[in-house]
Amino acid sequence: MFKTSICDILGIKYPILQGGMAWAATAELAAAVSNAGGLGIIGAGNAPGDYVRTEIRKAKKMTDKPFGVNVMLLSPFVNDVMDVVYEERVPIITTGAGNPGKYLERFKSIGTKIIPVVSAVALARKMEKEGVDAVIAEGTESGGHVGELTTMALVPQVVDAVNIPVIAAGGIADGRGLISALAFGAQGVQMGTIFVCAAECTAHTNFKKAIIKAGDRATIVTGRVTGHPVRILKNKLARKFEKLEEANCGAEEYEKLGVGRLRAAVVDGDIDYGSVMAGQISGLVKEIKPAKDIIEDTIKEANEVLKAVRALSREE
């Protein structure tokens, strides 16, 4: 079953979180994951509060299990979104791109669990001091915004550095990944790329097919010049980004090219000039299947892997 402390803290059956992905993680996906025993998370991205409220209310109708909202701290609507999440009493918030410190007191007072994504030990330590409930240590393998450290190097170092539960993310899409994360001392995993290919994910079929077609070297990190690097599938947009980088353009021009590109890929299916955020694990994602199967197959495989590893350590 792999019952860990994170299952108790979040009130979930399996220690599996579905990444709160801008545009891709709508109420449909979050509810399906929560109904299957994981933690579904709605991605607020750069969307305004009204959009997020609609998704939260839809999810409430589709599941009676806990679910969360991922708040992008760089969003122009961040305060608006935080107000909505507070008013709707969503029990769990994950945050991307920064330090949610200034929101903690308000949410603590109503028992909301706050779980920031971190890509380095220093931020994990700082977050623990500020009183967050857990951290998601996300390696550079992951789709979307990334740091520099790999999951394999980052997770054990964060586990050693803090006393709160750590959730591993980046490059995990099956039972082997789950067992590795638990072996590193993580209390659970967050998976993103594979959940884009869940049947319930409302992302455009072109986006899903692009992930299924992708091999191990299909992604590239763009946007280092802006200070907010992003991992996407290599396509015509990625090439344009590369050209801007080669030309040593400033962050402003670079950012201008990125505006609206994720929505174009996820909602409109523009996989040539859209930002097809996906992780290095895309090569392992081979089919579209229900969220329940993604979770149950992961748990089943994790049990098999555990048995196989145990067999290796038997005495002669």
Ligand X SMILES: Cc1cc2nc3c(=O)[nH]c(=O)nc-3n(C[C@H](O)[C@H](O)[C@H](O)COP(=O)(O)O)c2cc1C
What residues make contact with ligand X under the rule CB under 6 A?
A: 19-22, 24, 43, 45, 70, 72, 96, 117, 138, 141-144, 169-172, 190-193, 196, 277-279, 281
Q: Any idea what the Cα angle at residue 44 is, between residues 83 and 32, rounded to 5°?
A: 115
Cβ 1 to ligand X shortest distance, Å: 22
Cβ 311 to ligand X shortest distance, Å: 28
Cβ-based nearer residue to ligand X, 35 or 75: 75
Cβ-based nearer residue to ligand X, 127 or 277: 277
The full DSSP string for 280-296 is GGGGG----B-HHHHHH
Cα–Cα distance between 166 and 115 in angstroms, integer? Answer: 9
Cβ 247 to ligand X shortest distance, Å: 27
Cα–Cα distance between 44 and 55 in angstroms, integer? Answer: 9
Cα–Cα distance between 117 and 99 in angstroms, integer? Answer: 9
Cβ 167 to ligand X shortest distance, Å: 9
Cβ-based nearer residue to ligand X, 130 or 249: 130
Cβ 282 to ligand X shortest distance, Å: 8
Cβ-based nearer residue to ligand X, 16 or 62: 16
Residue 105 CA: distances (Å) to CA of 102, 130, 136, 155, 265: 7, 9, 20, 27, 36
Residue 126 burial (CB count, 10 A): 16
Q: Name the residue with the smallest CB distance to ligand X.
A: 192
Cα–Cα distance between 93 and 217 in angstroms, integer? Answer: 32
Cβ-based nearer residue to ligand X, 25 or 159: 25
